[in-house]
Structure 1
Amino acid sequence: MRPLPVIKICGLREPSNIKEVLSLDPQYIGFVFYPSSSRFVGELDIEYIKGLKDVKKTAVFVNASLEEIVTVVNKYQFDAIQLHGHESVAFCKDVKESTGLEIIKAFGIDSEFDFNQLEPYLLVADYFLFDTKTSIYGGSGRVFNWDVLKRYPFDKRYFLSGGIDLDNFQDAYTFEDERLYAIDLNSRFESSPGIKNILLLKQALKK
């Protein structure tokens, strides 16, 4: 029997909402440092974020500079980094070497996606994240056809993201692939961008 997936709740911003989310015991929480995103964090409470324990605090970047990434992760003492843009293998390697943190490399998936292009990333990413391919780098609330993951040829474990909601959460959680490491919950569990609906999250996690 495969290990059950862990839970990542992404796109957080407000301390009171973060506190409620943490009461649900997710293994990862994510903070978006992409200014064009409706979930862009702006200025977080530094001491509050630094003080969060027993959860992997993940900083999400889209085509950011190495300097920006290093500055942010040091400032808030993040535990993991999600690279959600068109970051090259060499850039991922630089981020890994500069920070020493867990690297999650995201890819937008559609029916034509060529999984072979991931091979060079195997040595520089701790996990992959598969999201629905859009022009806005995630947070679209749209689901891709998970059947395409049958073509994924590598052993590297991955996060499943993209349009997961109350209706399809159980299907995602029980998806038959031993490489599935985590379920990423975001826009479909919100009251407004950056504010998670705790009731919806509780309903899903009860399942």
Structure 2
Amino acid sequence: MTVQIKYCGSQSEEDYRLLVKTNADYIGFIFAESKRKVNPSDVKKWIEKYGKPKQLVGVFQNASLKEILDVISEVPIDIIQCHGDESIEMIGKLKNQLNVKVYKALPYRQQIFGDIERYGCASDAIIVDSVSKGQFGGTGVPFSWKDVPRIMEKAEEQGVPCFIAGGITPDNVSLLLPYHPHGIDLSGGIEENGKKSTKRIEQLERMLNNDNSNCT
């Protein structure tokens, strides 16, 4: 099975120009408070200049319907990623009123399997991310990947794909791939000096290509 790739946190024209040429399936922009937060008008200009060859993901955290509407009125978002405490009802409202796919990010914690069961029925995909020192997402720290097979199994029971995020890099992705995640989600792991790195991305994609070529 080919692992889907999501590169998140594109924060400049330079980042976007690089990412559209990669093997990524998705490019993510962060519209929540973050060091990688972007302005919708800037993103619109980048897309107009370099095209839209990938599916675009907008990352929000506990945003109102109006806040999300304001963004997608400028940016042709394919997928909304809810990365906060959004309710199942809110996810349903977004899907019904905006006619876009909605992915739900969930923190890796003791009740993760129950969380997947609850949110899987409402979301189009699940993203399981790390929690470190109370911070959810953007930690640069992987969680215990030994639970990934069970996480994938629980997501499959709900009929949704599941991406693994948090601390994935070209240097450690080979340790994750044997657990067969449906997708991987990277941001800081493909950066050097705060910018997306051609070298890091090429290194990662070589690892993924080698893994896929070994599949029977």
Q: What TM-score, normalized by structure 1, do the two folds share?
A: 0.88
8 Å contact from structure 1 (residues 50, 77) kept in 2:
no
Residues of 2 paired with 1:197 and 1:143: CA distance? Answer: 20
Residues of 2 paired with 1:50 and 1:175: CA distance? Answer: 39
Residues of 2 paired with 1:96 and 1:86: CA distance? Answer: 17
CA separation of 1:175/1:82 partners in 2, compared to 1, >3 Å: closer, same or farther? farther
- The answer to whether 1:47 aligns with 2:17 is no
Letter of the structure 1 residue corresponding to residue 161 of structure 2:
R
Which residue among 160, 167, 170 is the counterpart of 2:171?
167
Structure 1 position 45, deviation (Å): 4.0
8 Å contact from structure 2 (residues 20, 52) kept in 1:
no
Partner of 1:59: 58
CA separation of 1:101/1:145 partners in 2, compared to 1, >3 Å: closer, same or farther? same
Counterpart secondary structure, 1:107:
strand
Structure 1 position 181, deviation (Å): 2.2
- Give unpaired runs (5+ residues) of structure 2: 208-216
Partner of 1:124: 122
8 Å contact from structure 2 (residues 106, 112) kept in 1:
no
8 Å contact from structure 1 (residues 96, 124) kept in 2:
no
Partner of 2:162: 158
Counterpart secondary structure, 1:76:
coil
CA separation of 1:26/1:117 partners in 2, compared to 1, >3 Å: closer, same or farther? closer
8 Å contact from structure 2 (residues 149, 179) kept in 1:
no
CA separation of 1:18/1:94 partners in 2, compared to 1, >3 Å: closer, same or farther? same
The superposition leaves residues 99-143 of structure 1 with CA deviations (integer Å, 9 ceiling, x where unpaired) of 111111001103x23411332322320100001023333111000
Partner of 2:206: 206
Residues of 2 paired with 1:83 and 1:50: CA distance? Answer: 25
Partner of 1:97: 96
- The answer to whether 1:28 aligns with 2:32 is no
Pairwise CA RMSD: 1.8
Structure 1 position 71, deviation (Å): 1.8
> Relative contact order (C-alpha < 8 Å, sep 6+): which is higher?
1
Counterpart secondary structure, 1:171:
helix
8 Å contact from structure 1 (residues 107, 133) kept in 2:
no
Counterpart secondary structure, 1:121:
helix
Partner of 2:111: 113
